[in-house]
A and B are shown apart, each in its own frame.
Chain A
């Protein structure tokens, strides 16, 4: 109803790919914690990375709403696959907006997943509060020397290129950080071991350590000392993406729960005939629909150039919270089976949890919503 004919077609083509290729692979990928290179290869060919990259730069040039639709559909199959799409989307958006023509030349490889990227922000002392980063890039001739360490970096164990936020002016606070494009195969880059996570286990996450890594003059992305602001500029879109991802997880849980309730028999009838189970399903469906509409609304605000900060935080926070609550309900509908490895809903519940944490914790989202309310007034 909210989507135009093109967006519907994108949804339907993504869905058939996900039904055939992604969703059947998710259980094994979770169990083996494996990077699904073969799926990413195919997604690259289908143009499922870099959704908003303009046509003249080799992308499909879709809007944020279409991106959100793709994220939900991918995540309905497997959240890790959606999160990889989200990561490439942020990196390619940064390259399109701030990259030099030379730097943008890597776009086709990034979108084909021939060059795997990592977005390197978080440090031991700088999680939600990015201003605490200690990684530094110090001027050295016409380039820089990079020192410091990053943790919990998505793709760190496998990535070729890092987009690294580093301090370039110690005195200037948020106005003293810059983003550098770093070859992760270069001398001085050490990768930590892969983290073993609760959920989204096919996403390879780990630490990166930089010791006197030499950066050339073309390593700086965008303007010097504007890294923090560049990062903020893609934050709204990132939040819409993660909100859509959370909706996709919850939607998969709803589908599984409805199917199961219609086939599982207890006391000589399908459990879907018990009102207690019906109410679980109804609550799941209405929260998921509400979250989806918040996602659409936030995405449309971005596409229309409106102030989208509050909408994006509301979508991310609500979608993450209901993804956890409603996948827990899906486990409940499955009863004991839902607690067993190998049942989709067990994985969905684990995969959902991180959506309350990454891309800004839901506590931070609430702070942002409140701050926006108090600053700009309560009217919608």
Chain B
């Protein structure tokens, strides 16, 4: 069984994100970038399925600027067999919307014919939480989102999902799309010899134009602003005053 894992290069989660002065987005130049943490979990799950002998090949695909290759090298070091870069733009500030990503991935799925796509449930930059669902729709495949456990069972995948009030388990006929939640696994640390070996593997490059996908944006960003600064608290002198404030100002009583 072949597994396809789409990954996104995002601002590293340790970086303090700053808004660009013109409000068009966040600062992306000279900022440490790394693999979206949910995608790391997706890749880890795919590699574990391969190590268990359930999967035979793990292919990782990423869409964006040429610098995405750094992320794909990490994917190779984590255990991916092959990686594909869909070269979509040279502008690091150009975000490609989930719908376009889903269409591009559908083309890659047509070419690669995986039985399973495991994707992160969302990227930590835009928090769209849409690509996996759109991809499933585009392919006409079943989807299991927010997976906290994944098990392959005779032509099907059992996906345990974290839902309000507990866990729900779905049985999806393969091929299918699964998106990963935080508690699915703990991604491995990359071993140093694996980093060295990954250097020697090649990254396949596909030009977006060759796929014939309309990736034009449908959304317009109106503004990007910093979160409001927390206001200083107020000291009250009596319980009566507190109750009055809760009643009249906060409106919670």
Contacts and interface: CB of A to CB of B under 8 A. Distances in A.
A5 B196 contact: no
B36 to A, nearest CB: 15
A60 B189 CA distance: 15
Interface in B152-210: 189-196, 199
Interface string A6-30: 1001101100110000000000000
B118 interface: no
B39 to A, nearest CB: 15
Interface in A3-59: 5-6, 9-10, 12-13, 16-17, 45-48, 51, 55, 58-59
B193 A55 contact: yes
Contact of A13 (B70, B192, B199): B192
Nearest to B12: A12
B77 A9 contact: yes
Contacts of A48: 192
A59 B193 contact: yes
A10 to B, nearest CB: 6
Given A6-B199, A12-B34, A47 B73 contact: no
- Range of interface residues on A (Cβ < 8 Å): 20 to 34
Given A5-B73, A9-B73, A12-B34, A62 B196 contact: yes
B73 A46 contact: no
B196 A60 contact: yes
**Interface of B, helix, strand, loop or mixed by DSSP:** helix
B74 interface: yes
A38 to B, nearest CB: 15
Nearest to A15: B14
A222 interface: no
Nearest to A16: B189
Contacts, number: 44
A61 B193 CA distance: 8
Contacts of B73: 5, 9
Given A9-B77, A12-B34, A51 B192 contact: yes
Contact of A62 (B34, B70, B74, B192): B192
A29 to B, nearest CB: 19
B134 to A, nearest CB: 31
A112 B13 CA distance: 31
Contacts of A47: 191-194
Contacts of A45: 191
Contacts of A59: 193
28 contacts: A5-B70, A5-B73, A6-B195, A9-B70, A9-B73, A9-B74, A9-B77, A9-B190, A10-B192, A12-B34, A13-B77, A13-B189, A13-B190, A16-B189, A17-B189, A45-B191, A46-B189, A46-B192, A47-B191, A47-B192, A47-B193, A48-B192, A51-B192, A58-B193, A60-B192, A60-B193, A61-B196, A62-B192
The 8 closest A-B pairs by CB, nearest first: A47-B192, A60-B192, A60-B193, A13-B190, A47-B193, A47-B191, A17-B189, A46-B191
